Chain A
Amino acid sequence: MAHDDCSRGPRGAACKRTRERKGSIMTFMNVSSMRRFGQKLLGATMLSLLALSPSLADEMSLYGPAAENAVSGGRLNMGLLLEPPGFDPFHQAADARIRLSVLVYQGLFYEGANGQAIPLLAEGFEVSEDGLVYTIRLRQGVKFHTGGDMTAADVAYSYNYIRNPDNGSPGAGDFSMVSNVEVVDDSTVRFTLTNKNSSLPMTLGNKYGAVVPAGYFDDESAKNRINAESVGTGPFKLVEFVPNSHVALERNEDYWEAGVPYLDAIDFSILPNSASMLVALQNKRIDLVPLSRPQDVQQVSSVAGLNIERWPSLAQTAIDLGSELEQLSDVRVRQAISLAVDKNEILKASVGEYGTVLGTMVSGMQESWGLPLDQVPMQGPDIEKAKALMAEAGYADGFTMTLTTINGFDWMDPASVTLQEQLAQIGITLDIQRVDLGVWVNNFRSSQMGFTFNDWAAQPDPNLLFYRHFHKKPDGADFRNWNNDEASALLDEGRAEADPAKRRDIYNRFQTVLADTVPTIMLYSPDHVTVRSDKVQNFTQHPTGWYFGLARTFLAE
């Protein structure tokens, strides 16, 4: 895979860091297994799966690698092409919100890049033998931006709030297996589950919800105020969010981790036009910007003082095949489409070289959780086999179908034309229909997506990636009407399994079913591409696309 090649260009630095992170995770796993062994010897009734000391947690380099020779101070100007539609971690699911809010709000765990949940506001935890009770020790000395100390009551309140569907959080579904969150003592909380769920720590991460002061939402106006005030525990405080203009963050002086963050302040300037963004970059109005269109990246590639870096991603572009369509309800038609698709060609047309072709796993997790690419069934292009399957299904003469694409997703335009040509080879005529995101989301949520492009991402955990999207209703949402018993059973098994090796085997089997019966065709993971000026140091881009790395970034003098 392209991103494993650490010898080339600026990508090399990213690869090196990724390797370093992997190294530290290995160390962590060894320590963890040793502790488990020790506890068994002592005959303890509680099984400790992950009991980290704070010092070890720090070595795990939360938010990115620790900086040597870091300089404190300075104001970073970061450009954003997409404005966050709010700042509320409890009720707003948009990725553009999460990217920024992770700097202000924190959950109990941090999404370690390679799929490990690393204690953040937690200090460590223990799991009961039946796997249903998680006792979580909390980090001490954590203060809210509002000044108060964080206690177990705040943690229990926050997670009880988000898991209650009546409070309207898009994250509530992820917490449906939690039956109770209670305070044990001032620095300990207990989560009780209805079913075993090895993803619980990752679910207690930073995507939905966060720890806020107990009772915060008792006042109805808090749902409005949270977009404008700062009530988290994160390394930065929200100072100002002016619509269509900027988001200003400043350093949290009371942050629990000594010495960080390095930056005094971050100004996110919202500039929705990429041509203007490039001019601002060249004139040093912007120090750092994520870019997604290859043509934009190329325009600044030769500008002195600017560095282009590529980072692996947990995002995926995909073709979804809704079985509510008559033709797509036949698995042979779906398989034929999968065989007719040339993912490399679509990648080239969409983002040029800035991406990685996928099998059944996003590129950021391919190594940790992906079915090896040479074992993924139904991968094309194999037009002859595809035609044979079409004939077998009774569609030797082909048929006409609508491909839905979404306004504002640049890659979908070139990809749709390329796909149109590819499927024409097996007799499928595509009518391309572009719809507004709101329309698309409505179709998607009501499981009437038809044949469509999709662009989505998840936390670095296979259960969080697959379960909701692909498990049968009512436990999952099965947006694509796949209704696959075998896959659902494997998803249940994978969620309950705590042993990493067994878990991996289960998800390999799931991915085989997924690729073989084709409810979706994962195309490629677009790289996260960032452009930074020379003075921006130690910035890393987390594979989720969230800007955790800014908590470790500093400005060279």
Chain B
Amino acid sequence: MGSYLLKRLFASLLTAVLASILVFLLVRMVPGDVVAQMMGQAGGENAAGALREFFGLDQPIYMQYLTWITNVLQGNLGNSWTRGLPVTDMIGPAFLVTLEIAILTLAVATLVGVPLGILAGIYENRPLDTAIQTFNILGLAAPVFWVGLMLLVGVSAVIGWSPPLRFVPITRSLSDNLSILILPIASLGLLQAAAYSQFVRQNVVSALNQEYVRTAIAKGVPIRVVFFKHILRNVLIPIITFMGLILIQILGGTVIIESLFALPGLGRLLLTAIETRDYPVLQGALLIVVVSAMVVNLVVDLTYRLIDPRVRVA
């Protein structure tokens, strides 16, 4: 286990370094830079040159990278070029917003999607299955923007209420925090639940058709025992994989939902940083996304090893 963990950590580190180089080069391949954005149609070339020098954009790219990565290794992601704030002060709160959205969405998706998927799988081709599949297909087909907007407009029309516009962290007030997040979480959670339910259903159906399950049922093992010991354990790995996918997807930013509900999350931070060519914020935020995806993957892999001995042998 120890050596496995070491190997994984080393691989992750290598990936992170490669990702950081890629991110660094990619953001610089987008035409236009922060100086052009700040100057717009105004300003002369002298002033633009002075600003480029201030931001270090006059240096060769490898020097810019070395300066940046040296600072990153010391825990310093630099200052935002447009906001002046330390990048960590901007990414930190945004990441917490996104993390909360991700965890709550995952909770809703799991609590709704997994039971629905199991029920649909067990009652394959029965009316309940058809009803659940209808929900699944609608959820898979509906764009998140549309669902969010319909919820926002619908709730406003029916009860004359819309969420507050200024985000309040959960640490300051749970009720205020939830009143802001209820609609976005409902939109994301229901859509993810539909995908989750469809995925779990397929796994349950295939587990039910496995010979050992049929044998167990034929042998007269109580259905409850068959379900928990044979079916659930077998669908647990795909369920955890899917959890990881949902987390990674939402941690990467849910810019549409964040824009719709005025949430100051990582997605909007990334989008604004791209628009203003704010490289330090962009690089820092992308690095956080990459690292958190790697952490989630690592946790998922380690969980496999805990619940399935075969993975350990492999």
Q: Does A49 contact B (CB under 8 A)?
A: no
Across the interface, B37 reaches (CB within 8 A) one of A223, A441, A456, namely: A441
A-B contact pairs, 16 of them (CB 8 A): A85-B275, A86-B38, A91-B38, A94-B40, A170-B39, A170-B43, A173-B47, A227-B83, A242-B264, A243-B83, A269-B262, A270-B262, A276-B149, A282-B162, A438-B36, A469-B41
How many angstroms from the CA of A142 to the CA of B54 in the assembled complex? 32
The stretch from B163-171, B229-237, B305-313 touching chain A is B163-171
Interface size class, chain A: 35 or more
Q: Are B165 and A280 in contact (CB under 8 A)?
A: yes
Instruction: Report B-chain residues with C-beta under 8 Å of the C-beta of A244.
Output: 94, 258, 264-265, 268-269, 272
B99: min CB distance to chain A, Å: 16
Given contacts A93-B40, A267-B166, A286-B165, contact A276 B152 (CB under 8 A): yes
The docked-state distance in angstroms from the alpha carbon of A208 to that of B272 is: 23
Closest-by-CB residue of A relative to B40 is: A93
Q: Do B38 and A228 have beta carbons less than 8 Å apart? A: no
B32/A436 in contact, CB under 8 A: yes
Give per-residue flags for A235-246: 1 if the beta carbon is below 8 A from chain B beta carbons, else 0. 000000111111
Give 4 nearest A-B pairs by CB, closest first: A438-B32, A224-B84, A170-B43, A165-B46
1/0 contact trace for B50-90 toward A, CB 8 Å? 11011000000000000000000000000110111100001
Taking a contact as CB atoms under 8 Å apart, the answer to whether A168 and B51 are in contact is yes
- Check B262–A275 contact: CB distance below 8 A: no
The reply to whether B264 and A85 contact each other, CB–CB distance below 8 Å, is no
A469–B41 alpha-carbon span in the complex (Å): 9
B42 part of interface (Cβ distance < 8 Å): yes
Q: Does B201 contact A (CB under 8 A)?
A: no
B210 at the interface (CB under 8 A from A): no
Say yes or no: is B31 at the interface (Cβ < 8 Å to chain A). Answer: yes
In the assembled complex, how far is the CB of residue B279 from the closest CB belonging to chain A, in whole angstroms?
12
Digitize B145-184: 1 where CB-to-A-CB distance is under 8 Å, 0 elsewhere: 0000100110010001110111100000000000000000
Taking a contact as CB atoms under 8 Å apart, the answer to whether B83 and A228 are in contact is yes
Question: Whole-angstrom distance between the alpha carbons of A92 and B277 in the complex?
Answer: 13
Cβ B164 vs Cβ A285 within 8 A: yes
Contact pattern, A 58-95, Cβ under 8 Å of B = 1, otherwise 0 = 00000000000000000001010001011010011110
Taking the complex as formed, is B202 at the interface, i.e. its CB lies under 8 A from any CB of chain A? no
Q: Which residues of B contact A477 (CB under 8 A)?
A: 44
**A172 interfacial by beta-carbon distance below 8 Å:** yes
Asked if A171 contacts B43 (CB within 8 A), the reply is: yes
Whether A438 and B31, one on each chain, are in contact in the complex, defined by CB atoms closer than 8 angstroms, is: yes
> A93's contact among B42, B90, B265, by CB below 8 Å, is which?
B42
CB distance from B148 to the nearest CB of A (A): 9
The docked-state distance in angstroms from the alpha carbon of A269 to that of B180 is: 14
With both chains docked as a complex, state the minimum distance between the C-beta of A211 and any C-beta of chain B, in angstroms: 20
User: In chain B, what residue has the closest Cβ to A83?
Assistant: B272
* Cα-based distance from A245 to B210 in the complex (angstroms): 52
Known: A93-B40, A93-B42, A244-B264. A438 touches B33 (CB 8 A): yes
- Complex contact B153–A275 (CB within 8 A): yes
| Beta-carbon contact of B39 and A86 below 8 Å | no
**Shortest CB distance A446–B (Å):** 10
Give chain B residues whose Cβ lies under 8 Å from the Cβ of A283. Answer: 156, 160-162
By a CB distance below 8 angstroms, the chain A residues around B38 are 85-86, 91-94, 170
Closest A residue to B83 by beta carbon equals A227
Residue of B nearest to A86 (CB): B82
In the complex, B260 has a CB within 8 A of chain A: yes
A436-B31 contact in complex given A168-B54, A224-B79, A479-B41, C-beta closer than 8 Å: yes
The residues of B that contact A540 with a CB separation of less than 8 Å are none
Q: Which residue of B lies closest to A272 (CB)?
A: B259
Instruction: Establish whether residues B262 and A276, one from each chain, have CB atoms under 8 Å apart when the complex forms.
Output: yes
Complex interface: chain A residues within 8 A of B44 (CB): 165, 172-173, 176, 477
CB contact under 8 A between A437 and B275, given known A168-B47, A279-B153: yes
B314 is an interface residue with CB less than 8 A from chain A: no
Q: Are A228 and B85 in contact (CB under 8 A)?
A: yes
A55 interface residue per 8 A CB criterion = no
Question: Which chain A residues in 439-460 approach chain B with CB under 8 Å?
Answer: 439-442, 444-445, 456
